[in-house]
Each structure stands twice: as structure tokens, then as C-alpha cells.
Amino acid sequence: MRKLSLTTTFALVSLAAMAVLGVALVIASQRLLQGQALTQARYTAEAYVRVGVQAVTEPEMFAPGRLPAPVVAELDGILRSDQGSALRTVRLWSDDGSVIYDSACPECLAGDNPGVSGIPDLRFEEVMRAGGSDSVAALVDEVAADGRAERRLDVYVPVAFPGESRPSGMAEVVLTYDDTAAAVAQGVRTIALVVLAGLAVLWLLLFRTVRQASRRLRFQAAENARLALLDPLTGLPNRRLLNDRLERAAAVATRTGLHVGLVLLDIDRFKEVNDTLGHPRGDALLKVVAERLRGTARDADTVARLGGDEFAILLPTVGSVEDAEAFTRRVQSEVFDEPFDIDGLVLHVDTSIGLAVLPEHADDVTDLMARADVAMYTAKAAGIGIATYSAAVDGNSESRLTLLGDLRRALDTDDQLVMHYQPKVDLRTGRVVGLEALLRWWHPVQGLVAPNEFIPVAEQTGLMHQLTARVLGLVASQIAVWQREGEVLPVAVNLSARNLLEPNLDEVVAALLDMHQISPHLLEFEITESAIVEDPRRAGEMLRRLSAMGIAVAVDDFGIGNTSMGQLRSMPLNTIKIDASFVTNLGHDEAGGVLVRAIVDLAHEFGLVAVAEGVEDEAAIVRLRDLDCDVAQGFHWSRPVPAAELPAVLERIRTQPTVGGAPVRS
């Protein structure tokens, strides 16, 4: 059975209560009116006895026997003259309880044995014994001769003459009840009507108030439930609602054999949008993305925001993995191809989309969520935009995912990320002319993690931005320390491709230099070829701004990338760093020398300094000098070391001329 609503329950219960109250009121008032009618009847009867009977009789007449004939005639006369009033019959009793007058049946008293008929012994006793001061009235129902039910009022009145100590006899006055009954009925009707109308109005008012309150409560409850399941910024379902629907879709899919697709999507470099354009613009972007996503999905699909810049689309019924993949491509082109206009600012936004399908990629909803996440991460890490879950990359991805999480936490600590410094040596003079700052991560569990392991991962996420900010901060404060100590060398910092695309990198750097009171000539940036190739226009623009500030720029790992000469020419470069792979074996590899010579010549052609990386032995140094290379660095002189160990390293290089010291030219 359906449960009754609060309002209906209240309406019914209150209605029943009011009905009971109404009936009770009507019955009570009926009783009251009847009581009043009886009192009224008593007054009438008493008045008749005092004024009528006692006026024509004497106390002595109330002895057994019969009233004198003239008195009877007078009494009959009074009765007759009172026709039309309620008075019907009168009987008189003597003090011993025998009837001495009966207006209704004079012949009853005609014999010698005067009236004993119909004497209500009990009443007589009651009235006479009570001292004769009070009359008694009673409603009597009787059946008339014609069979009609009739009601009459019998009033027993003591006949007490003034001066007598006790009543001389009793009168039974019978009054018709019809008029009284009509008056009582009319009164009861009126009262019932008033009570009913009053209660109805009261009930309506109560009902209205309760209904309004109940509606308000229901509305509030519905609103609360809605808010608990929706994302306040975009109005999209939140993670909880998505999970709910996912569970339901999975249950249906297992029954019907259909597939459930889950698409996870996150905006690339959203953090940069937030950081550089401000949170209001970030929010506005999220709203537009939400709108476009909703426009692309079908009604049956659920587009949800999981938090931050992460969205999900649930495809509750999808034909196949291929169908779901086609959908992800459509999302990518329909939602992200067109630039976003945020307050008149045109933004090109990229996304990473991950897809996992039930039951192909997962057995249950929890797995499906995790796998779509792995797929999204793969898309991001590989920079491929869209990825479908693949078990092959999963293990790798998961360990990288944890690494990313750990790195994020490392950025919150002060001691896990430290800089090591490697000296660069002038091949002609043997003197240290600069340092390269290289990042080291002391992982709390894994120990030292090499930058090659975590930087490529960080580069695919917004973390690189924070990582570089940390590196720049550490290096700048270290330079400031050296500056105070009096011996300072230029320090090269490695930048990632992503860093060059940060629109305000130059401002951040300028602020740092200013804060630490450092000359821009003490800072150098190393950029790999790939960073230039990725977006030559924007990279070139940023490099020009940095260069204009007086900061030197080097191309790192040169020789393994595929920068065109034209591109290199347009960049404001100071240095070319020859990749270690051409240098390390130089002492024992004739062919390698040709390449190094070509790069050195090219550098000099452009007026750039040639720096060799990865010098591990004397033989390489000898070849590099032959090839006219300017500067070199490598384990031969020193591994990258913490700042604290650097003075000892520099001292060793200075005092041991054989260790890469000045060339002994013949």
C-alpha cells in the first residue's frame, strides 16, 4: 500500500478529530437545551399549581376522597381556559397518596375507591419525602392510542400552602413536549451549524498552514538532495551521482549484454590558465567546457564534473569499444577544436581523454573508473590526446602515477628536492667558467630518483611549472649565498619545453633576480632542441625576452634532435651544448670526431660558444681541444655535487693542472 503523504495524514486525522469534537459539542448542547426545557417545564407546572390549584383549594381538601364538585369544576375551568398552552392534564393526590382529582379521567374517581390508577409511587415518595420544596420533572415516552410515539413532560409538584409545615398533597402536571422538542431541535440545529462552520473554517486554516509548511519542507529536502549530487560551479552531476548511475548502468549491462563506456577527460595545463588568468576566468572556462560537453553527449549519457578540471562522461549503452572511441574523437573535435572565448580572451585548450569500456577492460565499476583513469593518464603522458585503456601500459602507468603523486607531495616539503652543481671547464685555460644546476629528488622510500625518471612525467602535467619554479628559487638563493661569500660563477638552469610556453616566465625570473639582487649574467638557461621544435614561435618569443634581460641561452643535447638551421638562426642563442653521446667515446672513436667538429664549426660560424657534455677521460679532452671546442663538463672533472661539496671540487680542479688543466701545447 502506498504510504500516505504527511499532508493527507494530517488532513484525515484532524478531520476525524474535528468531527468527534463537533459531535461532542452538538450532543452537549442538546443535553443543555433539554435540561433547560425541563427546568422551564417545572417552572410552568409550579406556576400552575401555585396560581391555579392552590387558589381554589384548601389544605384540608387534600385528604383521601374526592374534591368538592365546585372545586373540580373550577379546576376543569382553569384547564380549559389554558387550552393552547402546553398544559395537558392535571392530577392531584392527597397526602396519603390517593388521587383526588384527574382532569383526564374524572370517571376514574367516580366510584368509592378513588384513584389508585397510575400513581407513580416512587415519584410521590420522592416529592413528599424531600420535604415538598422541589418539583421533579421527567420526559416520558408513550405510545398513543393511534400507535404514534409521543413524548410528554411529567412534572410532579408538591402542593404546599403557606403556613403549612409540610406539603398537603401532590400535583402531577402533564405538559406536551412537542413545542419544546421543536425549540430544542431548532436550537441544536443552529448550534450544530455554527459549530460545523467554525470547525470547517478552523480546519481549512490549519490544513492550509500545514500544507504550506509541508510543501516548504519537501521543497527544501528536494533542493538539499539535488545540491548533494550536483557540482555547484557547472550544475553537472558530481562524482557521487556519476557513481550511482555507473552502478545502475553496469547492472543493466550485465543483464542485457551491452557495453558501458566511461570517458575521463582533463584539461591540459588548466593550472596555468588558473594561475596566469585568474580563478574567475578558470571557472568561466570550466563552465563553457561543461556546456559543450553536454551538447556533445546524448540525453541518456551522463556528463559529470569530478573536481578541478576533470570531467567524466558515462555512456550507459554503447555498441562496442570502437563506437565509444568514435565518441571520444567527436568530443575532442567538437569540444576542443574551437577556441574558447573567455571574457574576450581567446584560449586554445587541449585535453587528454581516457576511455575504458565494461566488460572489455574491467569487471566492475571500481575497476572501470581506475582503468579510464589510467587511459587518461596515458593520453596525457604520451601527449596523444586520446587513449583507450590498454593492459600493456597499465603497470607502467600506475607506477608513474604514484611517482607523480609522490612528486606532488615532494613539492610540499623543503628537503626532498635539492640542486647539485657540475662545473664547466674552459678547455683552453683549464679554469672553471660556470656551473650547471641539476635537480635531485631524494624520494622518502626509493632514495635518489634521477631527473630522467620524473621530469618527463612531470612535463606532461601541470607539475613541471611548479618544479621549475622550485628549481629557480633554489638556484637563485644559492647564487645569492655565493655572491655574499665573494666567489660566484654563472649557473645554467635547464628549462623544459612547457616552461617556455608559460606566458609570464620572464616576469617570474625578473622578480627572482630582483629579490635576490642577482645580475642576469649569473644565470643561463639550457633548452633542448625539442623545446624549440614544439612551438618555435612562442619559444623564440620567450627566449628573446629572457635574452633581452641579459640571460644567456644554450641549446642542450644538441645533435640528437632535428632543429633546422633556420630555426636555430632565429633564436637568440649564446651556446650550443654537444650531446654527451658524441663526446664520451671521442678519445677512442675516429668517426665521432667528424660530427663534433661539424657542430663546433657551426657554433663558431654563428658566434656561439661550443660546450661538450659527458667528458669522462683525458682522451676526450685532448680530442675536444683539437676540434677547437671551447668548454666541457663531465665526470672527468666532477659529478654534479651539492653546493656544500663544491668548494672542495673547485679547489681540486684549480690545484691539479693534470686533471683537465691548461693544455700543454708544443
Between 230 and 489, name the residue whose CB sits nearer to ligand C2E.
489
| Residue with smallest beta-carbon separation from ligand C2E | 634
What secondary structure, in 3-state letters, does 317-332 show? EECCHHHHHHHHHHHH
Backbone φ and ψ for 384, nearest 5 degrees, come out as -105, 5
Candidates 556, 576, 584, 629: give the one binding Mg ion (CB under 5 A).
Answer: 556
Positions in the binding site for ligand C2E (CB under 6 A)? 422, 438-439, 450-452, 455, 471, 494-496, 526, 556-557, 580, 584, 613-616, 633-635, 640
Determine if 468 is a binding residue for Mg ion (CB under 5 A).
no
Pick what 312 binds: Mg ion, ligand C2E, none; C-beta below 5 to 8 Å, kind-dependent: none
Residues in a beta bridge with 641: 421
Say which amino acid occupies 89. T
**Cα(631)–Cα(641) distance, integer angstroms:** 19
Stretch that binds Mg ion, among 6-14, 401-409, 457-465, 605-613 (CB under 5 A): 605-613
Residues in a beta bridge with 632: 425, 612
Nearest-approach distance from CB 529 to ligand C2E, in angstroms: 11
- Nearest residue to 272 (alpha-carbon basis) of 328, 337, 348, 334: 348
Check residue 308 and give left, alpha or beta (phi > 0: left; psi -120 to 50: alpha).
left
Between 373 and 613, name the residue whose CB sits nearer to ligand C2E.
613
Determine if 301 is a binding residue for Mg ion (CB under 5 A).
no
| CB burial of residue 250 (10 Å; 0-12, 13-18, 19+) | buried
Nearest-approach distance from CB 362 to ligand C2E, in angstroms: 36
Between 356 and 493, name the residue whose CB sits nearer to ligand C2E.
493
Between 494 and 496, name the residue whose CB sits nearer to Mg ion.
494
Between 171 and 542, name the residue whose CB sits nearer to ligand C2E.
542
Pick what 471 binds: Mg ion, ligand C2E, none; C-beta below 5 to 8 Å, kind-dependent: ligand C2E
Nearest-approach distance from CB 450 to Mg ion, in angstroms: 13
Which cell numbers in the block locate residue 533?
621544435
Candidates 557, 583, 599, 631: give the one binding Mg ion (CB under 5 A).
Answer: 557
Pick what 430 binds: ligand C2E, Mg ion, none; C-beta below 5 to 8 Å, kind-dependent: none
**Cα(615)–Cα(636) distance, integer angstroms:** 6
**Which secondary structure element, helix H or strand E, spans residue 618, and what is its range?**
helix 618-626
Nearest-approach distance from CB 472 to ligand C2E, in angstroms: 9
Q: Angle between the 178-229 and 6-47 helix axes, to the nearest 10 degrees?
A: 160
Say which amino acid occupies 260. V
Nearest-approach distance from CB 397 to ligand C2E, in angstroms: 21
Pairing of strands 136-143, 149-159: antiparallel
Determine if 524 is a binding residue for Mg ion (CB under 5 A).
no
Between 526 and 630, name the residue whose CB sits nearer to Mg ion.
526
**Cα(579)–Cα(610) distance, integer angstroms:** 11
Beta-carbon neighbour count of residue 324 at 10 Å?
A: 22
- SS3 percent helix, strand, coil of the chain, rounded to 5, is 55, 20, 25
Pick what 203 binds: ligand C2E, Mg ion, none; C-beta below 5 to 8 Å, kind-dependent: none
Between 154 and 556, name the residue whose CB sits nearer to Mg ion.
556
Pick what 98 binds: ligand C2E, Mg ion, none; C-beta below 5 to 8 Å, kind-dependent: none
Specify whether the CB–CB gap between 287 and 279 falls below 8 A: no
Pick what 462 binds: ligand C2E, Mg ion, none; C-beta below 5 to 8 Å, kind-dependent: none
State CA 593 to chain mean position distance.
Answer: 67
Between 22 and 451, name the residue whose CB sits nearer to ligand C2E.
451
Pick what 631 binds: ligand C2E, Mg ion, none; C-beta below 5 to 8 Å, kind-dependent: none
Between 62 and 441, name the residue whose CB sits nearer to ligand C2E.
441
Candidates 231, 526, 529, 630: give the one binding Mg ion (CB under 5 A).
Answer: 526
Determine if 494 is a binding residue for Mg ion (CB under 5 A).
yes
**Cα(461)–Cα(371) distance, integer angstroms:** 19
Strands (E), 221-378: 259-267, 302-307, 310-318, 340-342, 345-347, 351-358
Between 49 and 551, name the residue whose CB sits nearer to ligand C2E.
551
In the complex, the residues that contact Mg ion under the rule CB under 5 A are 494, 526, 556-557, 613
